[in-house]
Amino acid sequence: MYEQTLYKIVTPVKLTTISRLNKAKKWEYGYNKEHDIVVISKTGQIGEIYNIQNLKIALPKAPPSVDKSNKKWTPEEYPKELKSIESIFDWRDYPESFKLKWESYIDEQFNKRENGHWFNNKGLDTYITGTHFMYLQWSKIDVGQPDFRESNRLFYIFWEACKADTRCYGMSYLKNRRSGFSFMASGETVNMATISSDARFGILSKSGADAKKMFTDKVVPISVNYPSSLNRSKTVWTGRRRNLPTESPRQSLLVSPSLKPLGPRPLTVLIPPSIGKTPVITRTMEKN
């Protein structure tokens, strides 16, 4: 029987300590030096702790109940009433009763985007990060909506730990071809760019044509597929609870040809090219 070795559930922290700090909601997002763990929970409470590549990552505490109506990841349908809204001006034209009706739905989507989402996966309560939720729920790739993959879930958990850990400068990812990494990286770029202001996001490749191809074939379709209520560049969501600006923030995504520098201003995120390749390994069968 196959046993996965991509991660292990470990207990580097006493259960009594976890319970005590959970009760007071004292766990802070980021690296916890005392217990040598990276907390990716933003609720002040933690649950299971994963060991991925010797990095101990504390996940959020599971909610008391998870929807059991589906036993696998199933994307939500976007409400028809919101599909016709394309700008802040459309939103303002609707009556207050309409806005009050849908504010809770939009706020729930932002909550999942920020804190992650739990769902039932073959009877198991399964956590995905906010970035992974946005990729599965609202991104469009070459085959349509992405499928849920356990390997991708672990990738996003590790990536969230990289973002949370101030000691970290980024992540080097060893992958195979057609694993979906370019789309996942593009999805994260769009996700972060649409909730950031005065930020720059870069795509670096071995040639300008390759960088522009990633931008036009991956970044743009994902951005266009975002509903207007979640794409802050379209600014439908007025942000009463999140204090978001009601006008479009200044954002830019830079495409750099031939590995040239992207300029003196710092980048929030940079998607670099491949830093190397492994030799092609072929398997041969010997005749008896």
How many Å separate Cα 73 from the centre of its chain?
A: 16
**In the block, residue with structure tokens 């005065």:** 198
Both 70 and 34 in one domain: the answer is no
Domain assignment present for residue 236? The answer is yes
pLDDT at 16 over 90: yes
Domain assignment present for residue 285? The answer is no
pLDDT at 280 over 70: no
Both 46 and 77 in one domain: the answer is no
Residues 148-163 pLDDT 10s: 999 999 999 999 999 9
Q: Which amino acid is at 19?
A: S
Domain assignment present for residue 277? The answer is no
Both 122 and 45 in one domain: the answer is no
pLDDT above 70 covers what percent of the chain?
Answer: 81
Rg over alpha carbons for the chain, rounded to the nearest Å, is 21
Domain assignment present for residue 282? The answer is no
Domain assignment present for residue 286? The answer is no
**pLDDT band for position 21 (cuts 50, 70, 90):** very high
How many distinct structural domains can be found in the chain?
A: 2
Residues 66-119 pLDDT 10s: 988 889 999 999 998 888 887 777 888 889 999 889 888 988 999 999 999 999
Domain assignment present for residue 159? The answer is yes
Contact assessment for residue 204 and residue 273, using Cβ atoms and an 8 Å cutoff = yes
Both 44 and 93 in one domain: the answer is no
Which region among 94-98, 125-129, 263-267, 278-282 has the lowest average model confidence (pLDDT)? 278-282
The residue with greater pLDDT, 78 or 3, is: 78
Which residues lie below 8 Å from residue 115, measured CB to CB, with a gap of 6+?
Answer: 41, 42, 43, 60, 130
Cα distance between residue 190 and residue 163, in whole Å = 16
Both 187 and 215 in one domain: the answer is yes
Both 188 and 112 in one domain: the answer is yes
Q: Which of 128-137, 168-177, 178-187 has the highest mean pLDDT?
A: 128-137
CA distances from 249 to 135, 202, 267 (A): 22, 17, 16
Both 38 and 79 in one domain: the answer is no
Residues 6-15 pLDDT 10s: 899 999 999 9
Q: Give me the CATH number covering residue 131.
A: 3.40.50
Residues 207-262 pLDDT 10s: 778 888 888 888 888 888 888 877 764 443 444 444 433 444 444 455 444 445 55
Residue-level pLDDT at 225: 86
Both 153 and 181 in one domain: the answer is yes
Average pLDDT, the chain: 82
| pTM, 2 dp | 0.83
Q: Which long-range contacts (CB under 8 A, 24 or more apart) does 79-86 make?
A: 79/105, 82/227, 82/228, 82/229, 83/227, 85/228, 85/229, 85/236, 86/228, 86/234, 86/236
Both 113 and 211 in one domain: the answer is yes
Domain assignment present for residue 150? The answer is yes
Residue-number span of the structural domain to which 4 is assigned: 1-61
Cα distance between residue 195 and residue 259, in whole Å = 27
Domain assignment present for residue 107? The answer is yes
Instruction: Looking at the chain, list the stretches that DSSP marks H as alpha helix, in order from N- to C-terminal side.
Output: 15-24, 80-83, 88-93, 96-115, 130-138, 150-164, 181-193, 208-214, 220-225
Both 20 and 158 in one domain: the answer is no
129-140 CB burial, b ≥16 within 10 A, e <16:
bbbbbbbbbbbb
